[in-house]
């Protein structure tokens, strides 16, 4: 059971706030989850359309195992492909496919409207500036302290 869905009363903005099995009533496209949207957006913004899995996990402050699951789900839908890195075969590269930008374009307006409605509508301009400053500091801290799954394990 989810704590709430984006855009619903008392909904909260969480990584799993939107189920990926819903369809957009206007486009008929299967919706992506909040984390999947973030991944597609980062890939879509990348000049070459791809990132290493590790860099994506660090960028969205998400565990590597969780990101692997999300990337697999997007790959099954034909929105990304995963392949060994040409520079380092130990790394996996995720690339957005031609279908990925179409999903982003279809979901982007609704994503922005939902985030604005849930997060910013109740705030004054001063509150929004304070929130941006505080969340910026928190984001820097999270990126400086990677999740436990991202740290090297001691060999015993």
Looking at CATH, the fold of the domain delimited by 34-150 is given as Arc Repressor Mutant, subunit A (1.10.10)
Per-residue pLDDT of the chain (156 residues; tens, 9 = 90+): 233 333 333 333 333 444 444 554 444 456 788 888 889 999 999 999 999 988 888 777 677 788 889 999 999 999 999 999 888 888 899 999 999 998 888 888 888 888 888 888 999 999 999 999 999 999 888 878 766 555 555 555
Question: Which pTM value belongs to this model?
Answer: 0.62
> SS in 3 state form for the chain?
CCCCCCCCCCCCCCCCCCCCCCECCCCCCECCCHHHHHHHHHHHHCCCCEEEHHHHHHHCCCCHHHHHHHHHHHHHCCCEEEEECCCCCCCEEEEECCCHHHHHHHHHHHHHHHHHHHHHCCCCHHHHHHHHHHHHHHHHHHHHCCCHHHCCCCCC
């Amino acid at each position: 059971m989810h704590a709430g869905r984006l855009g619903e009363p008392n909904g909260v903005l969480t990584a799993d706030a939107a189920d990926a099995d819903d369809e957009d009533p206007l486009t008929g496209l299967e919706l992506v989850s909040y984390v999947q949207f973030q991944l597609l957006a980062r890939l879509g913004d990348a000049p070459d359309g791809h990132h290493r899995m590790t860099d994506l996990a660090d960028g969205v402050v998400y565990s590597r195992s969780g990101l692997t699951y999300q990337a697999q789900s997007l790959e099954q839908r034909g929105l990304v492909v995963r392949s060994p890195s040409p520079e380092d075969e130990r790394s996996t590269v995720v690339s957005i496919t031609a279908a990925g930008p179409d999903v982003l374009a279809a979901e982007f307006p609704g994503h922005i409207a939902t985030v604005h409605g849930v997060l910013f509508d109740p705030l004054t301009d001063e509150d929004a500036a304070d929130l941006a400053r505080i969340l910026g500091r928190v984001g820097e801290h999270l990126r400086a302290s990677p999740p436990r799954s991202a740290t090297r394990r001691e060999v015993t």
